[in-house]
Structure 1
Amino acid sequence: MIRLLVSVLVFVVNTIYRDRPYPRFYVLETVARVPYFSYLSVLHLYETLGFWRKADWLKVHFAESWNELHHLLIMESLGGAAFWGDRFLAKTTALVYYWIIVALYMISPRSAYHFMELVEEHAYSSYHKFLTDNETELKAQPAPEIAISYYRNGDLYLFDEFQTSHTPAERRPAIDNLYDVFVAIRDDEMEHVKTMVACQKSNAQLSFKSPHSLEAETVMLEKSAVGNSEVLSTQ
């Protein structure tokens, strides 16, 4: 079922938008952020009912949706949403997928995360091919202001928060032209893949932490180790 859902999405994107890259990416990004909304909705429901409270999951999934939002804003700035038919198809598909993933996440969270892993892998491959085919043209175009604001000049706390394979502030993409923007988006998609894989681990409910939470724990452990060393040295 998971592969069928992904295959339908890939078929629509690849067939209808074969020669229209920016509308294609607009549709892809509109749909790609929806599962994170689904995860957040179910997690908030569980917390409201007192089943379990996982603040780190909420933080990471919100950061992922925030990242996908800026991918979407970049595609809109490039004209990807100019045609009403593209907007209608993207939003209709997103609405359907939202409820499907809500139901799937309640039944099998691991399957819902696997769905998103496959979607993000497809997004990574799509952007990589686009970069390979259009490198010269993209390098000659300026970076959109929204991309500069998000990747370079904005508050990067949420940018760091969804990348569970990096420590905060470790990854800072260069944004000097449109090619750099698409490299950053492509690499973001792979970071989403890694985070989705981490969410599927058998011990994830106990071990999964956001990058900033892990950083804080590391600092606390280091301070504790220093304190213990000082105590031992005085004895």
Structure 2
Amino acid sequence: MIRFIVSFFVFIVDVVYGNRSYARFYVLETIARVPYFSYLSVLHLYETLGFWRKADLLKVHFAETWNELHHLLIMESLGGNRLWGDRFIAQHIAVAYYWVVVPLYMLSPRYAYYLMELIEAHAYHTYDDHLKTHETELKTQPAPQVAINYYRDGDLYMFEETQFTSDHHFRRPSVDNLYDVFVNIRDDEGEHVKTMGALQKPEARQTFKSPHSVIELIADQAEQISEA
């Protein structure tokens, strides 16, 4: 089933919208962010019923939805949602997709995360190919204000929560032109891939920490060592 879902997703994004970049990215972002909604819904259900509680997963998955929302807003600012038919297709697939991922996540979180890892990897390569093909053109165009607000001038806490950092330092990317914006979106997708991979480990549901929790833990350990 995982392969079928991914193949369908790739068909819609690459074949149906292959020649219309911004409409293609609008559809990609509308559909690709849906699993995070599904994860949050199931986690909130478990919490409500008293089955299981894990605040770090809720934090990270919400930050990921916030991240993908801003990718979507960027595509809308570039005209990706201009046609009614594109909005209709993307939104109706997204609704159906939500109800596919909810039971999948309840039955097997590992497979639900694997599904998202494949989709985010596809998104990473899609944006990477776009950057390589249109580098010169993108560098001549200004960054949309919504991208500047999200990546540089706004409250960066939510942006930081999506970063699967190995060196425990948060990204502070440039947003000087449209090329920078697409680099940032591509790199965001790469962070999601790493997070989805980490969450497939058997112990992940008990041991996973959000980026800020990791940094706070390291700071506490360093303070304890200095006081010893």
> Partners in 1 of 2:166 and 2:178 — Cα distance?
24
Q: Is the 8 A contact 1:117 1:197 kept in 2?
A: yes
* Cα 1:68–1:108 shift into 2, 3 Å: same
Structure 1 segments of 4+ aligned residues over 4 angstroms from their partners: 166-169
TM-fit CA distance, 1:15: 1.2
Determine the structure 2 residue equivalent to 1:29: 29
TM-fit CA distance, 1:164: 2.2
TM-fit CA distance, 1:194: 0.2
Q: Is the 8 A contact 1:13 1:28 kept in 2?
A: yes
> Partners in 2 of 1:164 and 1:106 — Cα distance?
24
Q: What is the identity percentage for the equivalent residue pairs of Structure 1 and Structure 2?
A: 64
Determine the structure 2 residue equivalent to 1:93: 93
Q: Is the 8 A contact 1:166 1:211 kept in 2?
A: no
> Partners in 2 of 1:159 and 1:205 — Cα distance?
22
> Partners in 2 of 1:169 and 1:160 — Cα distance?
9
Q: Is the 8 A contact 1:30 1:91 kept in 2?
A: yes
> Partners in 1 of 2:62 and 2:168 — Cα distance?
16
TM-fit CA distance, 1:114: 0.3
1:40 aligns with 2:40: yes
Q: 1:145-186 CA distances to partner (integer Å, 9 max, x unpaired)?
A: 110111010111010111123566521111110011001000
Q: 1:126-158 CA distances to partner (integer Å, 9 max, x unpaired)?
A: 001111111111111010011011101011101
Q: TM-score, normalised by structure 2?
A: 0.98
TM-fit CA distance, 1:64: 0.4
> Partners in 2 of 1:164 and 1:190 — Cα distance?
9
Q: TM-score, normalised by structure 1?
A: 0.95
Determine the structure 2 residue equivalent to 1:181: 181
TM-fit CA distance, 1:225: 1.6
Determine the structure 2 residue equivalent to 1:207: 207
| Count of residue pairs brought into register by the alignment | 228
> Partners in 2 of 1:203 and 1:174 — Cα distance?
36
* Cα 1:198–1:106 shift into 2, 3 Å: same
> Partners in 1 of 2:168 and 2:184 — Cα distance?
16
Unaligned stretches of 5+ residues in structure 1: 229-235
> Partners in 1 of 2:211 and 2:15 — Cα distance?
38
Q: 1:81-133 CA distances to partner (integer Å, 9 max, x unpaired)?
A: 00000000000000011010001000000000000000000000100111111
Determine the structure 2 residue equivalent to 1:76: 76
Q: Is the 8 A contact 1:47 1:53 kept in 2?
A: yes
Unaligned stretches of 5+ residues in structure 2: none
> Partners in 2 of 1:95 and 1:169 — Cα distance?
36
1:154 aligns with 2:154: yes
Q: Is the 8 A contact 1:167 1:215 kept in 2?
A: no
Q: Is the 8 A contact 2:163 2:170 kept in 1?
A: no
Determine the structure 2 residue equivalent to 1:222: 222
Determine the structure 2 residue equivalent to 1:231: none
- Measured on the aligned residues, the alpha-carbon RMSD in Å equals 1.0
Q: Is the 8 A contact 1:73 1:146 kept in 2?
A: yes
Q: Is the 8 A contact 2:160 2:211 kept in 1?
A: yes
Determine the structure 1 residue equivalent to 2:171: 171
Instruction: Please state whether the residue corresponding to 1:112 is helix, strand or coil.
Output: helix
> Partners in 2 of 1:167 and 1:31 — Cα distance?
31
Query: Which has the higher Rg, Structure 1 or Structure 2?
Result: 1
Determine the structure 2 residue equivalent to 1:197: 197
Q: Is the 8 A contact 1:81 1:87 kept in 2?
A: yes
Instruction: Please state whether the residue corresponding to 1:12 is helix, strand or coil.
Output: helix
TM-fit CA distance, 1:203: 1.1
